[in-house]
């Protein structure tokens, strides 16, 4: 089923089209949710809420950009909104956690490729992880992040710097990133 | 292949890797979304509501039907049971007949001259892009077939062409049949939801076509058997379960009227494999990682399931035996005989009770589970009586060990029978029991299961109150020493289990029978309590 058919079907409330849309985009979107969530169950809750928003707002899609990008935007905002409801998140995103965090080799799960990198990201504290996700992966600016998360722009910058540094340390320990730092490279086997 | 980048490209590298990451969501996510989008289609709720209603009506009937004992035979009245049976039979026969009628294609539609162009929306084929086949069958004779001047395959809003003369096709095909092949997705971008077949009739032969009937058979390439559909068409709604297509349910196409009902049952198709193969090869590792996670998740969800339940029930009793009767003997030795005097019948009625508890299901085989737990119950029945002035009454009892018969005297305050000033006496008991049983899964998938549970439950009587009929059947007396402190219950429960919002619901009727008499063996009448209930349970 093409995207046009799926869109038209969704507009007509046809469950076949809705399911086709879900089947096409849900695996990647669950990957997105998983980077923000604490565990798989939370990620699935985020995905469910996100897709319900997608279907309810699909008439607003203008077919200017890619459909996947539009869906992803809704999913990311849903994830952030769910995280913001959690008080622990509000605390963690404003505080500096870098000192005192110890990453041992045992903490890093042994998995490969994309999942390995994502699991390394998930080892970061929630606040760091969220800022890193929004800045490095979703492409938001620090100004936009400060608006989304309702924090200072400078906080976003410092959170990101520390997140990046911590992630680098994790990736090196996991031997995904290799020293020397002047010529650090990320190894990916395809 | 090894890919390198500098730390200056850290964000890009991170983005590349993160974007590749995919996870397969569990089926509950789609179920949640679907239920939210289509709240009217929560059919398990409807099923449960229907079961509850039927059970409540049955229990209501039982509750309002008084029973008698000691009247030569036990009379149990059922309201028009024969009539009800015949109604059931009639319905079954009618429905079978209806099904046969549909199965043999009696739902073929007529094409009338004032409706020369009939449109048949083609069911959506969301997964395949292969060639589908639509067969047009026109009956009853070739003359009416010739009445069809042209046919065309259309896709709104633009005709995709492919218009041909039907008689040409008929020359190479069986008379009355025309196979129309069309491509879906490969050559043309057409929306399957909107494809239509239109019959255009020539003016000259309108009259000849007046009696013609047409049937369209549509065979999407993803189905393994032909669906016969009416010209007044339906489209199909896929019912998915974990990416496996289980069935297609027909839904009326919007805007069409006079559609006839039809049954479509379609076998399992091969779409399951197609879907699973849709995962790109490069993500195989991710998929295996997900499977690994799923296995870990499974391990965490051990074989033990805890179920909490409550069972509103209607309780009643069954009786066996007759009271012993003693006659004074000059030698002071009671001679025991069965009384020849007419016995007064004992009228009793059911009453409401409740049971609650926790049940542990340990699944030791795919379909078998060991069941145990603890439950508390309150049950009993009502006896129709009337108050009297305190009177002496006796019970003739028989010693279990020696067989000696002896008599005990009591002060009775209630008489047996129904007069104007009657009163209901409550015989009840509070019990705690520990069921031990087996559960067999008769049918089921991840969403829904039908289970049969049979169990025995050693039971301790916590508190009870019993009015016992005297040996002359004229009075009711009380003697707690005649009641058993422990008993054994047997139960049978067919249960429907379905998942909704992370919670499993277990519902179904329950029959519980007290295997040993309420009274000790030295009392000659045996009373067995029987409970009919609706079990409503939840588990994670």
Q: What is the pLDDT of residues B2-25, one digit of tens each?
A: 344 345 577 787 888 888 888 888
**Quick one: pLDDT band at residue B308, thresholds 50, 70, 90?**
very high
Does the beta-carbon distance from A114 to B18 stay under 8 Å? yes
Whole-number pLDDT of residue B205: 40
Among the listed residues B314, B402, B299, B320, the one whose alpha carbon sits nearest the alpha carbon of residue B350: B314
Q: Which of B18, B26, B191 sits opposite A35 (nearest CB)?
A: B18
Does the beta-carbon distance from A34 to B15 stay under 8 Å? no
Asked if pLDDT for residue B513 goes beyond 90, the answer is yes
Question: Can you read off the two tokens belonging to residue A64?
Answer: 């200017």
**Quick one: pLDDT band at residue B325, thresholds 50, 70, 90?**
low
CB A44 within 8 A of CB B29: yes
Q: Would you give the DSSP letter of residue B226?
A: P
Q: Which of B237, B285, B297 sits opposite A112 (nearest CB)?
A: B285
Q: Which of A52, A168, A187 sits opposite B2 (nearest CB)?
A: A187
**Quick one: pLDDT band at residue B254, thresholds 50, 70, 90?**
very low
Residue in chain B closest to A25 (alpha carbons) equals: B22
Whole-number pLDDT of residue B294: 45
Question: Can you read off the two tokens belonging to residue B29?
Answer: 């996510």
Distance (Å) from the C-alpha of residue B280 to the closest C-alpha of chain A? Answer: 12
Does the beta-carbon distance from A52 to B236 stay under 8 Å? no
Whole-number pLDDT of residue A109: 41
Is residue B417 helix, strand or coil?
coil
Residue found by looking up tokens 């092949």 in the block? B181
Q: Which residues pair with B492 in a beta bridge?
A: B454, B511
Does the beta-carbon distance from B28 to A8 stay under 8 Å? no
Distance (Å) from the C-alpha of residue A141 to the closest C-alpha of chain B? Answer: 12
Asked if pLDDT for residue B338 goes beyond 70, the answer is no
Whole-number pLDDT of residue A50: 93
Q: What is the mean pLDDT of residues B173-189?
A: 36
Q: Which of B13, B19, B23 sits opposite A186 (nearest CB)?
A: B13
Whole-number pLDDT of residue A49: 92
Residues of A in contact with B29 (CB under 8 A): 26, 30, 44, 47-48, 51
Asked if pLDDT for residue B125 goes beyond 60, the answer is no
Highest mean pLDDT among A101-115, B58-72, B261-275, B469-483: B469-483
Strands (E), chain A: 177-178, 185-186
CB B397 within 8 A of CB B522: yes
Does the beta-carbon distance from A55 to B127 stay under 8 Å? no
CA–CA dist B197, B170 (Å, integer): 17
Asked if pLDDT for residue B531 goes beyond 70, the answer is yes
Does the beta-carbon distance from A112 to B30 stay under 8 Å? no
Burial (0-12, 13-18, 19+ Cβ within 10 Å), B485? exposed
Half-sphere exposure of B511 (CA within 13 A, CB side): 9
Which residues, 6+ apart, have CB-to-CB distance to A63 below 8 Å?
A7
Q: What is the maximum span of chain B, computed from C-alpha positions, in angstroms?
A: 119
CB pairs under 8 A between A and B: 163
Does the beta-carbon distance from B25 to A26 stay under 8 Å? yes
Q: Which of A113, A167, A186 sits opposite B285 (nearest CB)?
A: A113
Distance (Å) from the C-alpha of residue B18 to the closest C-alpha of chain A? Answer: 6
- The whole-chain average pLDDT of chain B stands at 63
Picking from A5, A157, A179 by the largest number of B CB atoms within 10 A of its own CB, the best residue to mutate is: A5
Residues of B in contact with A136 (CB under 8 A): 10-11, 14-15
CA–CA dist B189, B196 (Å, integer): 14
Which residues, 6+ apart, have CB-to-CB distance to B311 below 8 Å?
B354, B355, B356, B377, B510, B533, B534, B535, B536
CB B412 within 8 A of CB B390: yes
Whole-number pLDDT of residue B415: 87
Residues of B in contact with A17 (CB under 8 A): 124, 126, 193
Q: Which residues pair with B507 in a beta bridge?
A: B496, B536
Among the listed residues B431, B433, B452, the one whose alpha carbon sits nearest the alpha carbon of residue B441: B452
Comparison of pLDDT for B30 and A87, the residue scoring more: B30
Distance (Å) from the C-alpha of residue A2 to the closest C-alpha of chain B? Answer: 9
Comparison of pLDDT for A77 and B280, the residue scoring more: A77
Residues of A in contact with B195 (CB under 8 A): none
Q: What is the mean pLDDT of residues B359-377?
A: 90
Cβ atoms < 10 Å from Cβ of B213: 15
Ranges of chain A whose pLDDT falls below 50: 95-111, 183, 188-190
Asked if pLDDT for residue B230 goes beyond 80, the answer is no
CA–CA dist A136, A164 (Å, integer): 9
Whole-number pLDDT of residue B347: 83
Whole-number pLDDT of residue B208: 39
Whole-number pLDDT of residue B216: 43
Picking from A172, A188, A189, A190 by the largest number of B CB atoms within 10 A of its own CB, the best residue to mutate is: A188
Residues of A in contact with B32 (CB under 8 A): 48
Does the beta-carbon distance from A17 to B297 stay under 8 Å? no
Comparison of pLDDT for B240 and B437, the residue scoring more: B437
Does the beta-carbon distance from B1 to A51 stay under 8 Å? no
Among the listed residues B475, B380, B384, B379, the one whose alpha carbon sits nearest the alpha carbon of residue B424: B384
Distance (Å) from the C-alpha of residue B488 to the closest C-alpha of chain A? Answer: 43
What pTM value is reported for the model? 0.40
Handedness of CA B53, B54, B55, B57 (dihedral sign): positive
Cβ atoms < 10 Å from Cβ of A121: 25
Q: Which of A19, A27, A189 sits opposite B24 (nearest CB)?
A: A27
Asked if pLDDT for residue B373 goes beyond 70, the answer is yes
End-to-end Cα, chain A, rounded Å: 29
Distance (Å) from the C-alpha of residue B184 to the closest C-alpha of chain A? Answer: 10
Does the beta-carbon distance from B23 to A187 stay under 8 Å? no
Whole-number pLDDT of residue A190: 40
Among the listed residues B490, B495, B504, the one whose alpha carbon sits nearest the alpha carbon of residue B535: B495
Residue in chain A closest to B17 (alpha carbons) equals: A114
Which residues, 6+ apart, have CB-to-CB distance to B2 below 8 Å?
A187, A188, A189
Question: Can you read off the two tokens belonging to residue B415?
Answer: 């008489």
Picking from B9, B20, B238 by the largest number of A CB atoms within 10 A of its own CB, the best residue to mutate is: B20
Residue in chain B closest to A171 (alpha carbons) equals: B14
Q: What is the mean pLDDT of residues B266-291?
A: 34
Does the beta-carbon distance from B191 to A40 stay under 8 Å? no
Quick one: how far is CA B386 from the chain centroid? 44
Asked if pLDDT for residue B435 goes beyond 90, the answer is yes
Percent pLDDT > 70 in chain B is: 47
Does the beta-carbon distance from B193 to A188 stay under 8 Å? no
Comparison of pLDDT for B180 and A130, the residue scoring more: A130
Distance (Å) from the C-alpha of residue B130 to the closest C-alpha of chain A? Answer: 12
Strands B475-478 and B405-416: antiparallel
Half-sphere exposure of B529 (CA within 13 A, CB side): 31
Among the listed residues A87, A119, A127, A83, the one whose alpha carbon sits nearest the alpha carbon of residue A103: A119
User: Quick one: residue B501, left, alpha or beta (phi over 0 = left, psi -120 to 50 = alpha)?
Assistant: left
């Amino acid at each position: 089923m093409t995207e046009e058919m799926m869109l038209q079907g969704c507009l007509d409330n046809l469950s076949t089209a809705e399911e086709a849309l879900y089947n096409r985009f849900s695996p990647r979107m669950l990957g997105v949710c998983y980077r923000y969530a604490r565990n798989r169950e939370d990620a699935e809750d985020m995905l469910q809420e996100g897709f319900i928003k997608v279907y309810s707002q699909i008439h607003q899609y203008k077919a200017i950009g890619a459909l996947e990008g539009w869906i992803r935007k809704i999913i990311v905002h849903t994830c952030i909104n769910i995280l913001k409801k959690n008080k622990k998140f509000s605390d963690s995103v404003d505080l500096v956690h870098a000192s005192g965090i110890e990453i041992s080799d045992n903490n890093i799960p042994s998995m490969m490729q994309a999942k390995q990198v994502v699991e390394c990201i998930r080892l970061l504290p929630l606040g760091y992880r969220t800022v890193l996700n929004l800045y490095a992966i979703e492409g938001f600016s620090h100004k936009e992040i400060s608006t989304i998360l309702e924090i200072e722009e400078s906080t976003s910058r410092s959170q990101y710097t520390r997140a990046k540094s911590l992630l680098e340390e994790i990736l090196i320990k996991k031997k995904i990133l290799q020293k020397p730092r002047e010529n650090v490279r990320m190894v990916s086997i395809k | 292949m090894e890919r390198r980048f500098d730390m200056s490209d850290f964000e890009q590298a991170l983005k590349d890797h993160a974007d590749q990451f995919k996870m397969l969501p569990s089926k509950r996510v789609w179920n949640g979304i679907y239920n939210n989008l289509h709240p009217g289609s929560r059919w398990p709720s409807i099923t449960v509501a229907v079961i509850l209603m039927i059970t409540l009506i049955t229990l209501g009937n039982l509750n309002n039907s008084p029973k008698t004992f000691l009247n030569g035979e036990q009379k149990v009245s059922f309201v028009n049971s024969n009539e009800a049976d015949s109604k059931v039979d009639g319905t079954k026969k009618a429905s079978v007949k209806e099904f046969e009628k549909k199965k043999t294609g009696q739902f073929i539609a007529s094409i009338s001259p004032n409706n020369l162009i009939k449109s048949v929306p083609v069911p959506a084929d969301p997964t395949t892009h292969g060639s589908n086949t639509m067969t047009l069958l026109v009956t009853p004779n070739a003359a009416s077939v010739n009445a069809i001047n042209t046919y065309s395959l259309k896709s709104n809003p633009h005709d995709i062409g492919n218009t041909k003369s039907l008689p040409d096709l008929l020359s190479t095909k069986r008379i009355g049949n025309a196979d129309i092949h069309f491509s879906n997705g490969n050559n043309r971008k057409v929306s399957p939801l909107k494809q239509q077949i239109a019959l255009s009739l020539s003016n000259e032969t309108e009259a000849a076509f007046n009696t013609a009937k047409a049937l369209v058979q549509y065979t999407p390439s993803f189905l393994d058997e032909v669906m016969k559909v009416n010209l007044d068409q339906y489209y199909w709604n896929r019912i998915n379960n974990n990416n496996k297509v289980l069935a297609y349910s027909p839904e009326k196409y919007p805007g069409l009227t006079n559609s006839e009902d039809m049954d479509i049952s379609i076998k399992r198709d091969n779409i399951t494999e197609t879907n699973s193969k849709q995962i790109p090869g490069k993500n195989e590792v991710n998929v295996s990682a997900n499977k690994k996670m799923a296995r870990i998740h499974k391990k965490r969800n051990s074989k033990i399931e805890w179920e909490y339940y409550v069972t509103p029930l209607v309780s009643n009793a069954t009786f066996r035996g007759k009271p012993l009767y003693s006659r004074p003997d000059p030698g002071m030795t009671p001679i025991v005989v069965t009384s020849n005097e007419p016995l007064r019948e004992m009228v009793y009625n059911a009453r409401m009770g409740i049971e609650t508890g926790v049940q542990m299901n340990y699944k030791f085989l795919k379909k078998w589970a060991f069941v145990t737990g603890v439950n508390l119950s309150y049950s009993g029945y009502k006896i129709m009586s009337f108050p009297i002035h305190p009177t002496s009454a006796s019970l003739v009892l028989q010693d279990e060990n020696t067989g000696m018969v002896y008599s005990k005297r009591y002060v009775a305050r209630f008489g047996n029978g129904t007069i104007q000033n009657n009163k209901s006496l409550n015989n009840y008991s509070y019990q705690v029991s520990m069921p031990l049983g087996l559960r067999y899964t008769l049918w089921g998938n991840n969403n829904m299961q039908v289970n049969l549970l049979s169990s025995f439950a050693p039971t301790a009587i916590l508190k009870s109150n019993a009015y016992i009929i005297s040996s002359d059947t004229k009075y009711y007396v009380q003697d707690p020493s005649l009641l058993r402190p422990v008993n054994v219950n047997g139960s049978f429960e067919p249960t429907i289990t379905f998942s909704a919002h992370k919670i499993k619901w277990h519902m179904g009727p329950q029959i519980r029978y007290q295997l040993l008499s309420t009274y000790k063996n030295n009392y000659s009448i045996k009373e067995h309590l029987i409970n009919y209930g609706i079990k409503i349970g939840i588990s994670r």
